[in-house]
Amino acid sequence: MNISKKGYYILAIVTITLLTTFLHFATMREFSPNVVLEELYYLPLLLGVLRFGLRGSIMTWLFVSAAYLPFFFAPWTSGFPGYVDRGLHLVLSGVVAAVVGFLAERERRTRSQSERERYLAGIGRVATVIVHDLKNPLVSILGFARRISEGKGDIPQAAQTITESAKTMQRIVNEVLDFAKPMQLDLRESDLGDTIRRAAEACRAKAGQRGVSLTVTLPPETVTVEMDSFHIERALVNLIDNAVEASHPGGQVTISAAASKNGLIMTIKDHGSGMSRETLSHLFEPFYTTKSGGTGLGIPISRKIFEEHGATLAITSKEGLGTEAMVRLKTVK
């Protein structure tokens, strides 16, 4: 039988209350009233507050009070002082439950409001970034389309510019959608070495244009990983592409993989300009970028892909010395 989290709280509240009542009856027939046992009634009150807020704390107090009422009529309750003592216990526990429940409810409402404001601010930030990034290619498309309609300029060049601008817009939209939607993985046992080689080859042309060399070092044996090779390759391309862009002409980017105790470690290292501490601290934040033409989603998407595979991505960098991205993956035994 499946029990919800709420059900577990209710079960714990009922169990603690009834157990405390039983201990009272079991011990007070032989011993004097045990104050410690009375204080145990605050445990279910606390659980009620934490899980159900103000209303839950009051309902829990009513239940606990009902379990405590028999002590008013027990033979060991003697005289007016005994009734006052137990009456004060009920009243004070009710006050505590109401006050703590009210504070917990207020904190919950404040936290909910803060989350809502943060969510709305995030939507505004996303909209601003998307509009900003789409504006330039859209202006190019409109401008060159107008020139074509007027029969002016180099029409093939204009058509190529329109195509490239449309591809840029498509890339931006796809990155936003890929980051926002749940990731669907097609997990299969695949050779990680082949995936790394494909990712490096996909970036080799750009590296050549910038005068940057790519070096790939892999284990001699086949490394089998249960993964979605398409998404892993895409994540690696993002990291290698960033390393190439950060490198100086004549620089080198090394891509390596080595066995570790619990799997495999991949590293992508460059010797470029590096990043400041502030940039590094914001690196995994969506839409944060220092590039003029970037969406700030490349690194967050890569981390999302690796995390969906049960892997971790860590990036270290020092200004003037370069950046290293390290991925820890579990291999198939």
The CA–CA distances, whole Å, from 148 to 10, 27, 164, 169 equal: 72, 96, 16, 20
Q: What is the pLDDT of residue 270?
A: 92
pLDDT exceeding 70 applies to what percent of the chain? 78
The answer on pLDDT for 144 being more than 90 is no
Q: What is the pLDDT of residues 249-287, one digit of tens each?
A: 999 999 999 887 778 899 999 998 888 888 888 888 777
* 172-181, 184-193, 299-308: least confidently modelled range: 172-181
Q: Which of 77-86, 121-130, 178-187 has the highest mean pLDDT?
A: 178-187
Question: Of 305, 331, 302, which is closest to residue 315 (Cα–Cα)?
Answer: 302
Mean pLDDT, rounded, for 195-219 = 90
Mean pLDDT, rounded, for 234-252 = 90
Q: What is the DSSP string of 294-312?
A: --S-HHHHHHHHHHHTT-E
Question: Of 92, 83, 84, which is closest to residue 64 (Cα–Cα)?
Answer: 92
Q: Any bridge partners for residue 327, and if so which?
A: 266, 313
Q: What is the pLDDT of residue 1?
A: 44
Rounded CA-CA distance 168/7 in Å is 51
| pLDDT band, very low/low/confident/very high, at 3 (cuts 50, 70, 90) | low
